[in-house]
Structure 1
């Protein structure tokens, strides 16, 4: 069976305050617009690892601190429950869900130039934590033809996660943020080819603890994948993101930009009588501005918990 669902999980994409964004770049890959085929409840888990750094002369705003020489490794788990109440809502499939982030950010900085409250520091500093991020609500509406699929989606970051005020390592954005995206997929099971594209806009709010107001962002992704059998597929994927409005913080506009390319592979299996999909992705960032530059690795597992199958 093909990919059960394609959804954008909450996460960290290295822009704005804390080098973090609501939309997880790379999540809009193959079958980006393909919705779950029947009503039911679906489970998705993403294990995400990112490793990146920035040169010592580049300053970053980080949870009330101004730091230089940032090196970050993030290991995170994004668990999503998706409920599909109807496959005939406005002529399409409606899905609602929630994503719960849990992770271990590990950060090293060459210097903390300014700490919370304006204190000046110069020492090298390291911070790690096992912590929760903000929960993210999801709404998706998709339509499909014989080969062409369309999807509109939105997600909202609710700032109630474990925010470690004044600390370097955080998974919580601690600000309201809303992303709206549109995706299209040309998905041909007969030939095994899938061509997908996704674009979106992220509205960022203000962190009330630090007073930092992050600018808005746009993101564009594309993927091409070939299924070589009902069990295995392989493809290439890329993304581009750019901040289009200024941050309101001590570093001025601080607009970020990045482009990355990667590879992806998926295998479809049957577990306890139900179809499941495992997918891996690896991305390399080629050029960045006001962001970390590095690589990310994904392992994605999708399976239906219950399905309202049509009567035979």
Structure 2
């Protein structure tokens, strides 16, 4: 096998083992309604790697169980709520096309993500907002619970990736379009109902001979205004790190850590609980297994993280189940056959 073919074989295998990470969003109790575009744990092993030319599919299911207790207030769907508990599952189906185009010497790719899911959100009290009961013109605290299957905002991402030996790095720009099924006054919203831009850069060192993978991704999120609530979420920073080891060519295990921090405060007439700048750090582990489905290698990955340092957010446990596979990759050109002629 030629050096180029060996390299392509390694890259394809690594791409399947890692999938392609993109920006995703759902409720997590920071910013408006706790709905940050970035989700802890979405990036992991091979996060700086862009696979070879082809079409890939990644399906990521997110699970979250957390709460914001102690009488602390947050805004959800325009409602000022206290003692909030969130039990969420959300699915993110992503198609990725790594094009044959080169930009600045790197491979260019685009992806599209469609979220849907069911946030189950309950509040011990609603102090103000669309859900409040009015008694003699004076609001009273009432408990509330919402659990609705709904569609989130679609996300489109462009990426450029480079490779040099065991080093792989990429930059990405994602935009979340406010086109989901957002309902003002509803606690169970998957959509953010605001324009969001997320810009990130990732770096991976992967040694195929030892199976060690060291990856990190840092990003910056710019939030627009939610016109339904006149609430502008502040800008945010996030960073992820992962160390994993391939025990066999099918099985890998490792540790992951994520940190999120809101850099600027919330604003607008709807920001009735103040700037509400949040942060969280989550730590956990991951395991991945690849198996053949006919001729197609399919990779599954499980990630579990626990939030350990939290301000102005719910504290909880995060789970991810990811399934990645190639839909199409170009075949390597066949070497020309040499036919000897007899004279």
Q: How many residues align?
A: 311
2:96 is equivalent to residue 74 of structure 1: no
Structure 2: gaps of 5 or more residues: 1-12, 335-343
Structure 1: gaps of 5 or more residues: none
Structure number with bigger Rg: 2
Q: Which moved more, 1:89-98 or 1:106-115?
A: 89-98
Name the residue aligned to 2:8: none
Of the candidates 288, 296, 301, which is equivalent to residue 318 of structure 2?
Answer: 296
Name the residue aligned to 2:9: none
Distance 2:218 2:327 in 1: 29
Query: Which runs of structure 2 are paired with 1:253-292 in the superposition (5 Å)?
Result: 253-292=275-314
8 Å Cα contact 1:3/1:277 also seen in 2:
no
| Secondary structure of residue in 1 paired with 2:45 | coil
Name the residue aligned to 2:240: 221
Name the residue aligned to 1:114: 128
Name the residue aligned to 2:14: 2
Alpha-carbon displacement from aligned partner over 1:75-129 (angstroms, at most 9, x marks no partner): 1110001111126332211110110001000011000000139863411111110
Name the residue aligned to 1:33: 48
Query: Which runs of structure 2 are paired with 1:187-206 in the superposition (5 Å)?
Result: 187-206=206-225
8 Å Cα contact 1:96/1:139 also seen in 2:
yes
2:154 is equivalent to residue 135 of structure 1: yes
| Secondary structure of residue in 2 paired with 1:2 | helix
| Secondary structure of residue in 2 paired with 1:138 | strand
| Secondary structure of residue in 1 paired with 2:69 | coil
Of the candidates 190, 206, 211, which is equivalent to residue 171 of structure 1?
Answer: 190
Name the residue aligned to 2:250: 231
Q: 1:110 to 1:86 in 2, by over 3 A?
A: same
2:73 is equivalent to residue 51 of structure 1: no
Distance 2:283 2:238 in 1: 14
Q: Which moved more, 1:252-261 or 1:269-278?
A: 269-278
What is the TM-score normalised by the length of structure 1? 0.96
Name the residue aligned to 2:199: 180
What is the TM-score normalised by the length of structure 2? 0.88
2:106 is equivalent to residue 84 of structure 1: no
The alpha-carbon deviation at position 24 of structure 1 amounts to 2.1
8 Å Cα contact 2:40/2:282 also seen in 1:
no
8 Å Cα contact 2:119/2:147 also seen in 1:
yes
2:146 is equivalent to residue 123 of structure 1: no
Distance 1:93 1:264 in 2: 28
Distance 1:74 1:263 in 2: 20
